[in-house]
């Protein structure tokens, strides 16, 4: 009756034996949304917004079963004839609701279509064609056969990468081989065996999204696999990879060799990855919608992840699940030890993000492959993630079609340990409140509080013993281990006593509860330099408010109480909170920054307490069926104050030549921009997504400069917003954004008149190579073209024009001179050589570099050499690099006065060092030290900038080499090669942080617009 389908689709529906359907369809860019018996036309781009609006106005679809469950508004309902049901069940599992009968004898099936209506219709057509002609309905029962569970590793916008990279590459089934490989093995569930006598998780339900589950009686004796559903295009429920089966055994396994945390738990298995390790966002959305409609799930395990924190439909569903009382547990990712490599959805505040720990030789240390924080979701100050950690190396679990256990590694095998423990916490809570209809209700906030507050902190090795940057896993920063290793006994006890401890009201807490920068390296990198009166933005922390009292709350008030000891009266707090903002569900983020007055004259520790008032909308109890939303008022709100303890070392500022400013404003990353990778030879990841900040993939450089006595501030505003006289030099690493004309003029004046030095670390740029970096994305069905190459070299040339410096348009790669590198050598991964330098500058070449040619150039070369066209780029790839001759060695480093330009940033970038063919390169410490020294003091290191590299002025005479605080404007520059010019892709306007309003006349495709300088830098 409520159909909005074309005649062709309607015929397909009838052929499949479907009686009626409600769906969302598209026509000429518009989408007809059929919800609850009425329809509206709306632009497809605003489809999700309309659905949220309808939900807030209580426009729900009609009830579908005896339970009167509400169907998500972006779902469709299909009624099937009995003859079709068996074939549909074989294809889609228990998506058919056996309990939902209609008067005409048909069954109810749920199809959460979302952009794949035609695919599902074809599947149902095939099912109808193969269905038996018998019309008698089958016996009502739940399917227990093979189920699904997997992880979403998103390499682009697609959620379809293989399940957790490290966890797949596993092991011999023989224990001796496992021990040799990992140095030891562990069965995490054994630490909960003492709990199983009174609590085996039988009162909780866990949903697993993975590759399915192959059930073996020896591994799943007690667990109740109550549901298995296939959401993929592959017509099978069978797990042939073993990843999902392994994950399920860690949650609910019963093998004495590798028991699960909650062997009595009820499992609902959702297959969202094919056996070819393919998945799509829509499959996840379908499964999420089904969980929301069906209800009854306490914990959802996602051993999946990807960098796309801007995937709004996916993130919205995660929040809806949390609001519905489902605790989502997700693996943090296997992209360590680089910092800032958190995967989504584990980086979301609503999710329990799980990091990985080592076993065996390095037992208790954070696993090297475990991804690190902080979060990079568009907020200037990242949140603390992961939340907790669990064993992730040498972990024993179930083997397909075998009774023994095997070892695997990866954070995808750490997450199910936490999901199993979460089931124990939920079950313990229900045991303690059994029979009390007014008792406090289980919710995700309660779980996060119990896990984080009972976790045991991982003890790090002495700071700096592993490496200078502290990037090694054993340096257990809060951004590597979270709040520590899970403690099964303490967490289960917390769930058992939570209701009585909080008098059935719940409580509000802060994560972290203290911002103590005297605790180092736990608070690295924040604790690695003191707070000074000149620290830009002060010391800032992103605090997560976890509200176990209710899912909707606000923070209308805050107060700062400085301690009177240790000179804390000098410390001031800055918090930007909209009193009317409503946080939902269960959690919210608040950024607080702390500054010190200019009167500080010695080093000390300043302390104080920041308190937040939290107004919660209605306490949540088991007999409260009101569905809260941010639209409700706060007339019946309860109030609680929570406090953050603060301790920050403070000190006077360093001399100007020891103060550096890091430009983070002009760095763009995925998402939302598709910025091509910095190292072209690194084929495993097409995207630049690490943030390019001292706290993320430039941690080695940050620690290196700190070790040489420099103080580093981070600029998150335009270049017109800082006082140049406070800094010795400005660092611009790997910029992708455009520079406004006002910024270019201001920087030229700062260098010429105010004694500011400048260090630019560029990266590769070539229009042909940018075009070749494009790819077709199966998930969005769109060809993605990079907005810019490794760096925005045309924009850099406009910035460097006042100093008569410019980069060329050719890309080079290869080894750098040994004098520039740490022991072991370093590489010029992919970068541009300098094309223009001023006379009197030092222009240093790298003779071992080779030029990278595009595929088009290689095809032209093949034609000239008479090679067959069928050889193609792959065969020609062996000849893609042209060796440089000594007479034409590319100039990749130049120092002109106190301005230094280098053509590649990869040797300083933790994410890209190691991309070379022979196992990686080392840090280019001597080069960077010499560059910063020239920029801050004018002193030249002859081993990096030799006399022979000087470009002589006219007449061949020598100029004074004395440090000059003012850059000398020269009238004529030396042209080494054609300079890169032109306009970057118009795509960059879409992603730039500074956009010109529409209709503004400009000679460029777009002109960056300056943003107002904030009253207090750093706060959102």
Q: Which residue out of 74, 97, 178, 210 is catalytically annotated?
A: 210
**30: its two tokens:** 């518009």
CB contact at 8 A, 502 and 982: no
Matching residue, tokens 């794949």 = 116
**769: its two tokens:** 């190579």
Instruction: Give the ranges where 582-738 is alpha helix by DSSP (H).
Output: 699-707
Listed residue (589, 592, 453, 521) closest to 1018, CA to CA:
592
Matching residue, tokens 């192959």 = 214
List all residues 6 or more positions away from 960 whose beta carbon is below 8 Å from its beta carbon: none
Q: Could you write out the DSSP letters of every residue in 51-114?
A: HHHHHHTT-PPPP-STT-PPPPTT-EEEEE-GGGHHHHHHHHBTTEEEEEE-TTSPEEEEE--T
Q: Which residue out of 412, 509, 854, 992 is catalytically annotated?
A: 412
* HEC profile of 851-916: EECCHHHHHHHHHHHCCCHHHHHHHHHHHCEEECCHHHCCEEEEEECCEEEECCCHHHCCCCCCCC
Q: Based on the residue annotation, tell me whether 243 is a catalytic residue of this protein.
A: yes
**151: its two tokens:** 């992880």
Q: CB-hemisphere CA count at 13 Å for 736?
A: 28
Task: Name the burial class of residue 1016, with classes exposed (0-12), middle (13-18) and buried (19+) by CB atoms within 10 angstroms of its CB.
Answer: exposed
Task: For residues 210 and 723, give the distance between their C-alpha atoms in angstroms, rounded to a whole number.
Answer: 52
Handedness of CA 102, 107, 110, 111 (dihedral sign): negative
Give the count of beta carbons closer than 10 Å to the beta carbon of residue 174. Answer: 11
Q: Based on the residue annotation, tell me whether 737 is a catalytic residue of this protein.
A: no
Listed residue (426, 440, 455) closest to 501, CA to CA:
440
Residue 214 dihedral angles phi and psi, to the nearest 5° = -95, 110
**DSSP 8-state code for residue 172:** -
Q: Based on the residue annotation, tell me whether 219 is a catalytic residue of this protein.
A: no
Residue 570 dihedral angles phi and psi, to the nearest 5° = -80, -15
Task: For residues 136 and 4, give the distance between their C-alpha atoms in angstroms, rounded to a whole number.
Answer: 31
Task: For residues 540 and 576, give the distance between their C-alpha atoms in angstroms, rounded to a whole number.
Answer: 12
User: Catalytic amino acids?
Assistant: 210, 243, 412
């Amino acid at each position: 009756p409520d159909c909005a389908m074309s005649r062709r689709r309607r015929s397909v529906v009838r052929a499949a034996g479907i009686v009626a359907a409600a769906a969302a369809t598209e026509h000429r860019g518009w989408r007809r949304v059929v919800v609850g018996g009425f329809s509206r036309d709306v632009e497809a781009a605003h489809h999700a917004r309309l659905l949220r609006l309808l939900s807030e106005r209580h426009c729900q679809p009609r009830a579908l079963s005896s339970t009167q469950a509400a169907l998500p508004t972006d779902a469709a309902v299909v009624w099937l004839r009995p003859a079709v049901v068996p074939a549909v069940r074989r294809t889609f599992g228990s998506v058919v609701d056996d309990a939902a009968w209609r008067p005409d004898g048909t069954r109810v099936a749920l199809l959460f279509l979302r952009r794949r209506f035609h695919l599902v219709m074809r599947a149902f057509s095939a099912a109808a064609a193969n269905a038996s002609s018998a019309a008698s309905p089958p016996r009502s029962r739940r399917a227990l056969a093979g189920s699904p569970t997997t992880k979403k590793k998103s390499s682009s916008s697609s959620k379809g990468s293989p399940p957790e990279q490290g966890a797949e590459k596993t092991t011999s089934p023989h224990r001796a081989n496992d021990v040799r490989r990992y140095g030891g093995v562990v069965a995490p569930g054994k630490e909960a065996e003492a709990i199983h006598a009174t609590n085996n998780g039988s009162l909780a339900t866990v949903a697993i999204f993975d590759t399915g589950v192959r059930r073996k009686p020896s591994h799943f004796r007690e667990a109740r696999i109550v549901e298995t559903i296939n959401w993929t295009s592959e017509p099978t429920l069978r797990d042939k990879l073993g990843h999902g089966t392994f994950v399920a055994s860690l949650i609910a396994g019963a093998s004495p060799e590798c028991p699960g945390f909650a062997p009595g738990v009820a499992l609902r298995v959702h297959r969202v990855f094919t056996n070819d390790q393919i998945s799509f966002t829509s499959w996840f959305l379908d499964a999420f919608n089904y969980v929301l409609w069906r209800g009854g799930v306490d914990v959802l395990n996602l051993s999946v992840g990807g960098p796309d924190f801007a995937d709004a439909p996916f993130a919205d569903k995660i929040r809806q699940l949390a609001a519905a009382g489902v605790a989502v547990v997700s693996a943090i990712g296997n992209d360590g030890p680089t910092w800032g490599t958190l995967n989504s959805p584990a980086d979301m505040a609503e999710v329990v993000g799980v990091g990985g720990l080592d076993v065996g030789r390095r037992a208790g240390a954070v696993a090297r492959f475990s991804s690190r924080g902080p979060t990079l979701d568009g907020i200037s100050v990242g949140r603390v993630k992961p939340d907790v950690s669990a064993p992730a190396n040498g972990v024993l679990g179930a083997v397909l079609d075998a009774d023994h256990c095997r070892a695997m590694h990866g954070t995808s095998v750490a997450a199910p340990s936490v999901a199993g423990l979460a089931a124990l916490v939920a079950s313990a809570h229900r045991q303690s409140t059994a029979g009390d209809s007014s008792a406090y209700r289980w919710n995700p906030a309660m779980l996060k509080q119990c896990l984080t507050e009972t976790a045991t902190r991982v003890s790090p090795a002495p700071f700096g013993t592993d490496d200078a940057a502290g990037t090694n896993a054993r340096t257990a920063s809060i951004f590597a281990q979270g709040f520590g290793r899970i403690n099964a006994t303490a967490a289960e006890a917390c769930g058992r006593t939570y209701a009585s401890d909080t008098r059935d009201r719940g409580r509000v807490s802060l994560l972290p509860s203290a911002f103590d920068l005297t605790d180092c390296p736990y608070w690295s990198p924040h604790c690695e330099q003191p707070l000074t009166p000149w620290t830009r933005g002060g010391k800032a922390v992103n605090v997560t408010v976890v509200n176990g009292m209710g899912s909707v709350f606000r923070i209308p008030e805050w107060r700062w109480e400085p301690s009177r000891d240790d000179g804390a009266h000098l410390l001031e707090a800055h918090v930007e909170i909209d009193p009317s903002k409503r946080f939902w569900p269960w959690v919210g983020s608040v950024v607080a920054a702390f500054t010190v007055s200019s009167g500080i004259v010695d080093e000390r520790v300043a302390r104080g307490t920041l308190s937040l008032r939290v107004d919660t909308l209605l306490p949540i109890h088991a007999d409260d069926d009101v569905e809260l939303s941010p639209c409700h008022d706060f007339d019946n709100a309860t109030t609680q104050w929570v406090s953050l303890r603060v301790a920050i070392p403070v000190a006077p500022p360093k001399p100007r030549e020891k103060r550096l400013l890091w430009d983070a404003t002009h760095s763009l990353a995925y998402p939302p921009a598709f910025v091509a990778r910095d190292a072209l030879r690194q084929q495993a990841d097409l995207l630049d997504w690490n943030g390019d900040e001292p706290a993320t993939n430039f941690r080695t450089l940050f620690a290196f400069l700190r070790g040489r006595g420099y103080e580093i501030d981070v600029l998150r505003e335009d270049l017109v917003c800082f006082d140049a006289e406070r800094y010795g030099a400005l660092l611009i690493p790997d910029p992708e954004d455009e520079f406004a004309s006002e910024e270019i003029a201001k920087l030229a004046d700062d260098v010429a008149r105010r004694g500011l030095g400048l260090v630019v670390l560029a990266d590769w740029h070539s229009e042909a190579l940018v075009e070749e970096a494009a790819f077709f994305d199966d998930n969005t069905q769109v060809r993605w073209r990079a907005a810019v190459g490794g760096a925005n070299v045309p924009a850099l040339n406009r910035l460097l024009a006042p100093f008569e410096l410019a980069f060329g348009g050719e890309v080079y790669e290869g080894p750098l001179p040994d004098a520039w590198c740490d022991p072991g050598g370093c590489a010029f991964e992919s970068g541009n050589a300098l094309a223009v330098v001023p006379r009197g500058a030092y222009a240093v070449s790298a003779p071992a570099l080779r030029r990278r040619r595009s595929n088009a150039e290689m095809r032209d070369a093949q034609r000239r050499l008479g090679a067959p066209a069928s050889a193609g780029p792959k065969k020609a790839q062996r000849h893609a690099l042209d060796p440089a001759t000594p007479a034409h060695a590319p100039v990749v480093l130049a120092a002109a006065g106190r301005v230094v330009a280098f053509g590649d940033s990869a040797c300083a970038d933790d994410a890209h060092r190691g991309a070379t063919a022979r196992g990686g390169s080392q840090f280019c410490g001597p080069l960077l030290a010499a560059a910063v020294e020239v920029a801050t003091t004018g002193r030249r290191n002859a081993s990096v900038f030799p006399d022979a590299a000087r470009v002589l002025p006219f007449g061949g005479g020598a100029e004074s080499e004395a440090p000059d605080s003012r850059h000398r404007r020269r009238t004529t520059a030396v042209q080494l090669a054609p300079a890169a010019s032109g306009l970057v892709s118009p795509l960059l306007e879409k992603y730039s942080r500074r956009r010109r309003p529409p209709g503004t006349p400009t000679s460029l495709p777009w002109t960056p617009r300056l943003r107002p300088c904030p009253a207090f830098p750093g706060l959102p």
